[in-house]
């Protein structure tokens, strides 16, 4: 199979052998694609190397040979967001989620669109916690495992005054007791309704979404966590900051 001027976002690139790179990209029409970029070292290939950095929007030419495609050309479509600190960690988290959950060679137009949106939100410096919660919601929806956050597992309307666990298969399940420690992994009904309506919740409600959504993601990750979660030290240092990168 040949790819010609295929639009994609670069998710990851790592050195391979002495002069090459292994690159993972996310395209709309073909999903996640692994590329071999040969001979990209040296001053004459610097524009190509620059185009193969994570978050970069590119168009590429390649020929699929087995699991990996042989890259023949790639050019940057625009300037990738220049991110630092927590925003850079948030981008790493977004890319890792796509790498782990997006299947190879399966069309992903909705995920490609969600990635484009989160990329621009990171570029604009929008609140990171809300940016990531929205992307997690959109990622699950794009992969066909989304939840109806405004409805509980029994089909009733979520109560804004209640708290809920998120069942990865059935959606919000109301917390029936208030035993010590049980609230930690639950989201407020207000937060779930806000997420469903794409309306920024209050800081306390927004913070309540992180762990329940993480549990859903962990289920779909097969129980194996993300490097970004470890890198951020379970994000305890950011827990009190409503605009922080709570991945």
> Among residues 115, 123, 119, 132, which one has the least CA distance to residue 242?
132
| pLDDT given at position 20 | 87
The answer to whether the beta carbons of residues 6 and 62 sit under 8 Å apart is yes
Sign of CA dihedral 93, 49, 56, 65: negative
Last residue of a domain, one of 48, 76, 104: 76
Q: Is the pTM of this model over 0.75?
A: yes
Distance CA 187, CA 175 (A): 10
| pLDDT given at position 44 | 64
Sort strands 31-37 and 57-65 into parallel, antiparallel or unpaired.
Answer: unpaired
Strand partners, 57: 9
Distance CA 240, CA 113 (A): 30
Query: 4: burial class by Cβ within 10 Å (0-12, 13-18, 19+)?
Result: exposed
CA 176, chain centre distance (Å): 32
Q: Which domain holds residue 7?
A: 2-76
Strands (E), the chain: 2-16, 20-27, 31-37, 57-65, 68-76, 163-167, 171-174, 187-188
| pLDDT given at position 36 | 94
Q: Based on the domain organization, do 95 and 115 belong to the same domain?
A: yes
- Maximum separation of any 2 CA atoms in the chain, in Å: 65
Q: State both tokens at 220.
A: 């779909």
How many domains, in total, are found in the chain?
2
Does a structural domain hold residue 130?
yes
Q: Based on the domain organization, do 181 and 153 belong to the same domain?
A: yes
| pLDDT given at position 236 | 47
Residue 187 region, left (φ>0) first, then alpha (ψ -120 to 50), else beta? Answer: beta
Q: Based on the domain organization, do 49 and 167 belong to the same domain?
A: no
Place of tokens 């937060």: 191
Q: CA angle, 114 as apex, 34 and 217 as ends, to 5°?
A: 75
Does a structural domain hold residue 137?
yes
| pLDDT given at position 43 | 63
Q: State both tokens at 53.
A: 């950095």
Distance CA 1, CA 65 (A): 8
CATH number for the domain including 128?
Answer: 1.20.1440.120
Please list the ranges in the chain whose pLDDT falls under 70: 42-45, 178-182, 233-246
Q: Based on the domain organization, do 64 and 168 belong to the same domain?
A: no
């Amino acid at each position: 199979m040949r790819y010609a001027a295929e639009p994609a976002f670069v998710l990851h690139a790592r050195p391979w052998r002495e002069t090459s790179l292994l690159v993972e990209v996310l395209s709309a029409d073909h999903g996640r694609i692994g590329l071999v970029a040969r001979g990209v070292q040296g001053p004459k290939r610097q524009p190509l190397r620059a185009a193969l950095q994570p978050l970069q929007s590119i168009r590429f030419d390649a020929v699929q040979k087995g699991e990996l495609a042989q890259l023949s050309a790639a050019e940057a479509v625009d300037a990738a967001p220049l991110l630092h600190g927590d925003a850079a960690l948030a981008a790493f988290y977004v890319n890792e989620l796509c790498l782990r959950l997006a299947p190879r060679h399966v069309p992903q137009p909705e995920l490609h669109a969600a990635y484009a949106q989160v990329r621009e939100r990171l570029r604009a410096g929008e609140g990171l916690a809300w940016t990531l919660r929205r992307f997690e919601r959109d990622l699950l929806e794009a992969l066909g495992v989304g939840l109806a956050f405004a409805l509980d597992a029994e089909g009733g309307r979520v109560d804004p005054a209640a708290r809920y666990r998120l069942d990865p298969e059935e959606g919000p399940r109301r917390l029936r007791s208030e035993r010590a420690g049980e609230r930690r992994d639950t989201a407020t009904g207000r937060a779930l309704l806000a997420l469903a309506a794409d309306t920024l919740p209050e800081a306390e409600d927004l913070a309540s979404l992180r762990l329940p959504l993480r549990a859903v993601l962990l289920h779909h990750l097969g129980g194996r966590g993300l490097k970004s979660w470890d890198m951020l030290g379970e994000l305890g240092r950011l827990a009190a900051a409503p605009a922080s990168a709570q991945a």
